[in-house]
């Protein structure tokens, strides 16, 4: 069964607390690839507009939850 909603790419075998986060000169960004049901993928780069790592993690988790297939059902 193919997913009907975009799914986020996961290449790591074990979860890392900073996965999908990138610090660009002190500002945290989200970087991820969402795979579509038609086999295509779309890279997402979102400026999280924070210098605080814990806030960046919360914003990343919110983005992932917002675009996960379970939250769109």
| 47 and 25 Cβ atoms separated by less than 8 Å | no
> 26-60 pLDDT, tens per residue?
999 999 988 888 888 889 899 999 999 999 999 99
Q: Where are the domains of the chain?
A: 19-72
Please state the rounded mean pLDDT for residues 19-32: 95
| Cut 0.75: pTM above it | no
Beta bridge partners of 31: 45
Given the DSSP bridges, would you call strands 27-35 and 21-24 parallel, antiparallel or unpaired? antiparallel
Task: Tell me the residue ranges of DSSP E strands in 1-73.
Answer: 7-8, 21-24, 27-35, 41-47
């Amino acid at each position: 069964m193919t997913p009907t909603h975009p799914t986020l790419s996961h290449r790591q075998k074990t979860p890392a607390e900073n996965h999908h986060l990138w610090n660009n000169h002190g500002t945290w960004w989200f970087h991820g690839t969402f795979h579509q049901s038609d086999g295509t993928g779309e890279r997402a780069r979102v400026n999280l507009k924070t210098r605080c790592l814990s806030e960046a993690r919360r914003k990343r988790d919110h983005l992932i939850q917002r675009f996960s297939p379970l939250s769109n059902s």
